[in-house]
Structure 1
Amino acid sequence: MSTRIRCLLLDDELPGLTYLRMLCEQIEGVEVVRAFNDPLKLLAEADQLEFDLCITDIEMPGLNGLAVARLLQGKPVIFTTAYKEYAAEAFDLEAIDYIRKPIQKERLEKALQKAADKIQPPAAAPGRQFVQLNTSQGKALLYFDQLLLLTTSDQDKRDKLATLDNNQTLVLKNISFDQLLKLLPAQSFCRINKKEILALRAVNFFSHEEITTHIPGPDNKPLILTLGETYKAGFTARTGNKPQGT
């Protein structure tokens, strides 16, 4: 599988959850972000986690997997169950797939590939100057030479805010930084911390810990961003210089 998929797992039975996690870890390109045996705990933490897909059992006490899928607000879901009577309702929820237990690795891998095909945004062709992405207003063409900054949305961490050079802001729906970095020209954009990707043309000054940009901030002064420790090497490689103070 060429696309990397980050999954949440949910099964109230610990042996089944452990087995599902083991299968996922044997499939290339699949990352298990968290495994839960309580649907309420998953829902309480989901907004703070970056994930692409939820693989969930259906029959659980209190809150079943179908209800969890509805509460995840359109996040892709693969259902696993020992019961076939839920199939119609599962597909009414536009589930990626519906796997009968006991789960076979080959069957799970097929379902995850279907998820990868759906989750992966359309790749930018070589030399293309834009990419098509889903936004809160519908599909949009995001032109690389207009994009200044990408940051995590405060309203929904699965969404990203795109700041353009005409002072317009777009809400990019349900897309990760990893997916965005695959689409953006690597020579022109750099992730600078856990919450932001910056266009290098927006850089004015930078030091060991922060970057002063040409982007107007809330007080109309130049926006200053944090340069995270983990991302300094990548930033240095693209700018060809060490930040001041290193």
Structure 2
Amino acid sequence: MIKCVILDDELLAISYLKLLCEQIDHVEVVKAFNDPKAFLNEIDTLDFNVCILDIEMPGMTGLQVAELIPDSKKIIFTTAYKEYAAEAYDLNVVDYVRKPLKKERLMQAFEKAAELVANIRRKNTIEWNTNIGKTLIFTEQIVYIKTSEIDSRDKEIILSDGTAIVLKNLSFKTLLEMLPSKDFAQVNKKEIIALSSIKAFSTNEIITTISSDTENFLKLQVGETYKNSLLEMFGK
């Protein structure tokens, strides 16, 4: 499902775009804006994966807005002028659609966007045999991973809500290859931490945001082999 946001300073253009989107399967318009600043003020609260963005707007161009949109959100530019095409593609957008818009051309743009959105979704999940069967896990929900105390071949994943899932017969090497490298770090031979779960750290110890039965927050010891790579991830 494509969940899109529309940003165009012309209300008539917004109405027409909404009408086209309603005629295209698997496309939902979450919200429409005619003011770039209003859109940017709400961007963090909106559930969308594609932005249909007009380039020519007073005060702030679509090109400027695009630079402030997270990479995970895909952009389809619309414009009546062809001279912006090179700049638009420099921003790595999904597509550049000339006005007046046509349904068939917009559908092509959405098809490109849907493929990229699906790729992101695949990259943000891992699938493996677990204690509850073959399971698809969203990596953004993972806060901590450790070697199972019952069988060292297995790895226990702790999710943000406290749920524990055991991955069967999986090495840390393979697991790290499956995880987004910018979001996770191995801290010793038996533990991996999500960087978002780190509260503070030194060269020897990590204090996490994870509650612990024995302490206020779970603390992890940093292995000598892993110190440098961990510091590099934080630009130290």
Q: How has the CA–CA distance of structure 1 residues 43 and 196 changed in structure 2, closer, same or farther, with 3 Å as cutoff? A: farther
CA deviations 1:65-118 (Å, max 9, x no partner) are 111110003221000000111000000001100010000000000100011111
Give SS of 1:160's match: helix
Q: Flag the structure with larger Rg.
A: 2
Query: Residues 94 and 198 from structure 1, CA distance in 2 versus in 1: closer, same or farther, beyond 3 angstroms?
Result: same
Who is 1:26 aligned against? 23
CA distance in 2, matches of 1:38, 1:119: 25
The structure 1 residue matched to 2:108, chosen from 101, 107, 110, is 110
Give the letter aligned to residue 123 of structure 2: L
CA RMSD of aligned residues (A): 3.4
Distance 2:211 2:136 in 1: 14
Q: Which structure 1 segments of 5+ residues have no match?
A: 124-131, 135-139, 152-158, 168-194, 202-215, 222-246
Alignment equivalent of 1:55, drawn from 52, 55, 59: 52
Query: Equivalent pairs: percent with the same residue?
Result: 46
- CA 1:15–1:39 in 2, change beyond 3 Å: closer, same or farther? same
Q: Deviations over 1:139-174 (max 9, x none)?
A: x855452899978xxxxxxx933245528xxxxxxx
Where does residue 133 of structure 1 map in the other structure? Answer: 123
Q: TM-score with structure 2 length normalisation? A: 0.58
Query: Cα gap change, 1:33/1:163 in structure 2, threshold over 3 Å: closer, same or farther?
Result: same
> Is 2:52 the counterpart of 1:67?
no
Over 4 Å off, 4+ runs: 146-151, 195-201
Secondary structure (helix, strand or coil) at the match of 2:88 reads helix
- For the 8 Å contact 2:76–2:93, the answer to whether it is kept is yes
Change (3 A) 1:109 1:196: farther
Q: Which letter maps to 1:161? A: Q
Partner of 2:151: none
Give the secondary structure class of the aligned counterpart of 1:85: coil
The amino acid across from 1:220 in the alignment is D
Q: Which residue of 1 aligns with 2:118?
A: 120
TM-score when scaled to structure 1? 0.55
Runs (5+) with no aligned partner, structure 2: 148-159, 167-208, 215-236
